[in-house]
Amino acid sequence: MDILRQLASELGIRLEQAEATVKLIDEGNTIPFIARYRKEVTGSLNDEVLRDLHERLLYLRNLEEKKASVLATIEEQGKLTEELKAQILAAETLVVVEDLYRPYRPKRRTRATIAKEKGLEPLANIILLQMTDKPIEKEAENFLDPEKEVNTIEEAIAGAMDIIAENISDEADYRIHIRKVTFEEGSITSAAKDEKQESVYEMYYSFEEKLSKLAGHRVLALNRGENEKILTVKILAPEDKILLYLETKVIVRKNPNTEEILKKTISDSYSRLIAPAIEREIRNDLTEKAEDGAIKVFGKNLEQLLMQPPIVGQVVLGWDPAFRTGCKLAVVDATGKVLDTVVVYPTAPQNKVEEAKATVRKLIQKYNITLISVGNGTASRESELIIADLLKEYHGRVQYIIVNEAGASVYSASKLATEEFPNFDVGQRSAASIARRLQDPLAELVKIDPKAIGVGQYQHDMNQKKLSDALSGVVEDSVNKVGVDLNTASASLLEYISGITKTIAKNVVTHREENGPFTDRRQLLKVAKLGPKAFEQCAGFLRILDGENPLDGTSVHPESYPAALKLLEKSGLAAADIQAGKLSGLGKQIRDKKALAAELGIGEITLTDIIKELEKPGRDPREEMPKPILRTDVLEMKDLTEGMILKGTVRNVIDFGAFVDIGVHQDGLVHISQLTDKKFVKHPLDVVSVGDIVEVKVMSVDTAKKRIQLTMKL
């Protein structure tokens, strides 16, 4: 298999793009670095395509290794034919390679191997040849052997049938055909183990759907219901059609002495050996595809959440709501530093509402708080009512926002949080995190395991390594898109920067603490374990504001500094003009970009990127994202009426729709069919993303079940 051609074909890119990208990956370059600083080489492939390419490259290389190992094993056995070799080399999936290898794989003791030990293989061959003119019972008499525990004719025939059944089951072509027919024409069914039991799986208590049409989220729901012992799940295959196919393949002569035995053997081979294995393989394949789809959606949601715009320049009060143990509050200044923490008890059982309000008033006045960030967990509703009532006296000067606190408790109990806030308890840390994730969502959320952030579906049921790898890639891409301030970034943020490991991230922070702030990107080379390759990968993503070289505050890579300085010189400008904001019209001065790029010794794409960056140094891509909705008053579920139009924030996107926060503490569902009437929607992500501010209309409200149906078809 030509891996490069396969990659180019699958991803719809040119062969030279695949070739160049694989070379860059093999040289140890990271995906963010390739996406940002090697556009000329890859033909501007974005990070999403690059990640897909990397994933497929690993799979295809693994496939080639498997083929080599299988070929070597079969050759050692002296059974490798040219035809089999060609089939193995042409296989496009690991499943097909396994099918072809099955007859040659060392077997555990099966009914067939026991029958072979009893010397019954020649009898099996007589039946399979279908040329005997004697009844099989007569042929079987020759194989009776009490020493080998073959005492009766029935035992001899049964053993021979076991050998034939396993031979049929091991035939790769049969399996490939049966798997294809089962998937294309079969269906999946589920039933309740106890129909009276109430559960979230009630729609699957009597369910059937064609395998070829089964949606990914249904696959994962059926798997979970089965694992929780609520559902029984089965695949229904077109059995008659499959048996007929096997009969035409195996029964090649009209011989009354062997025909009935072979039909029975084929039926046994299919029901006992082939069908269970095919069912397992199809369900594994469906699960893998469903997981891949769910991971992609989770990744997109996570990216949108991480890329939410920071709310800068405000002093924020983080409010971690609770009942019995009280609400933990933390005041955080505009730089993220915790100024004060306190516990108030406005909720049950203490209900000290007035006392809590008085405490909050004092904090607002003392620290000039302009924003309250309230976690959406237990007692959030009660806390919001108290906050909204208190804020009426500030006439809009102080606002509040409900923040998704998923992962805040995981962070607050972590080793990292203990190191960051050694003198705080978990509640105080959680309140500080809730405040900070509003000020800079990216910097705060990178401290939490991405799986705990809660913008996925069935994330606990899927391959955890695959999920972690994919989500880490999303976090890495997001952090590198934004870039970080080298002198303020935490180790947990730095470790996601291209080329920087956990150890190097800690070493950067240690170097900063021991030697003071970095004033030049080249000083990174003095950090322990950060060599020239790591410097090449990370330097462009690390910013030094107010350093010795103004270019260090931009995303221009040090390798392009000579070209950037030459460009400034040709334009009658100096590096000092960068931070002064005097370069906003730089691009308009250039008449022939191609000629200029050649003169500067760089590619045209790189020149375009340098100009963009010099015009707006250190620009934050998050500024283009919709700003969160800030509130001063509260809306309750009972206030909702059919037809009411509201603004809301998309909190989660799943295969069948999107959940939208409209400020009533219960996210409403916009079903995929209600997202738009302007076009057919293949997936909700084609229309909405996490963090989007959308206008919705209330379709129905079920307060008992806490369900709100919304539409975006206004």
Is the residue at 487 inside a domain? no
Q: Which helix (H) or strand (E) holds 671?
A: strand 668-671
290 closest CA partner among 234, 223, 229: 223
**331 and 402: one domain?**
yes
375 closest CA partner among 418, 421, 420, 426: 426
3-state helix, strand, coil in the chain (%, to 5): 55, 10, 35
Joined tokens for residue 466? 């695959």
Is the residue at 628 inside a domain? no
Identity of the amino acid at 658: A
Is the residue at 100 inside a domain? yes
Is the residue at 256 inside a domain? no
**608 and 520: one domain?**
yes
- Give me the residues paired with residue 694 across strands: 648
- Tell me the CATH number at 698: 2.40.50.140
**27 and 87: one domain?**
yes
Domain end: 424, 439, 454, which one? 439
pTM: 0.86
Strand 206-210: give its sheet, edge to edge.
Answer: 206-210, 187-192, 231-236
**551 and 613: one domain?**
yes
Cβ pair 397, 341 in contact under 8 A: no
What pLDDT was estimated at residue 462?
Answer: 82
438 closest CA partner among 331, 318, 328, 321: 318
Distance of alpha carbon 51 from its chain centroid, rounded? Answer: 12
Cβ pair 496, 476 in contact under 8 A: yes
What's the CA gap between 183 and 126, in Å, rounded?
34
Distance of alpha carbon 455 from its chain centroid, rounded? Answer: 10
What's the CA gap between 605 and 24, in Å, rounded?
18
| 3-class SS of residue 705 | coil
What's the CA gap between 614 and 588, in Å, rounded?
13
What pLDDT was estimated at residue 1?
Answer: 67
Identity of the amino acid at 612: K
Is the residue at 242 inside a domain? no
CB atoms < 10 A from the CB of 440, how many? 20
Q: What is the pLDDT of residues 335-368, one digit of tens each?
A: 999 999 999 999 999 999 999 999 999 999 999 9
Is the residue at 658 inside a domain? yes
**642 and 599: one domain?**
no
699 closest CA partner among 648, 656, 640, 655: 640
- Tell me the CATH number at 369: 3.30.420.140
| 3-class SS of residue 624 | helix
375 closest CA partner among 405, 352, 348, 355: 405
Joined tokens for residue 558? 């040090």
Question: Sign (positive/negative) of CA torsion 572, 576, 582, 588?
Answer: positive
What's the CA gap between 181 and 251, in Å, rounded?
20
What's the CA gap between 631 and 260, in Å, rounded?
78
What pLDDT was estimated at residue 632?
Answer: 84
Domain end: 104, 130, 147, which one? 104
Low-confidence ranges of the chain (pLDDT < 50): none
**579 and 650: one domain?**
no
| 3-class SS of residue 314 | coil
Is the residue at 550 inside a domain? yes
**613 and 645: one domain?**
no
Identity of the amino acid at 129: L
- Tell me the CATH number at 517: 1.10.150.310
* Beta pairing, strands 338-344 & 484-485: unpaired
What's the CA gap between 448 and 454, in Å, rounded?
11
Domain count, the chain: 4
- Give me the residues paired with residue 711 across strands: 697
CB atoms < 10 A from the CB of 40, how many? 15
Domain end: 592, 623, 654, which one? 623
The structure tokens 């002495």 sit at 257
Joined tokens for residue 25? 């990956």
- Tell me the CATH number at 36: 1.10.10.650
What's the CA gap between 211 and 214, in Å, rounded?
5
**614 and 686: one domain?**
no
Residues near 610 by Cβ (< 8 Å), separated by ≥ 6? 556, 560, 563, 564, 567, 602
What pLDDT was estimated at residue 591?
Answer: 85
For 135, phi then psi, to 5°, come to -60, 145
What pLDDT was estimated at residue 50?
Answer: 97
**619 and 643: one domain?**
no
**704 and 592: one domain?**
no
Is the residue at 570 inside a domain? yes
**396 is in which domain, residue-wise?**
316-439
Residues near 280 by Cβ (< 8 Å), separated by ≥ 6? none
144 closest CA partner among 154, 132, 152: 152
What pLDDT was estimated at residue 352?
Answer: 95
**684 and 591: one domain?**
no
Identity of the amino acid at 402: I
**650 and 603: one domain?**
no
Joined tokens for residue 125? 């061959």
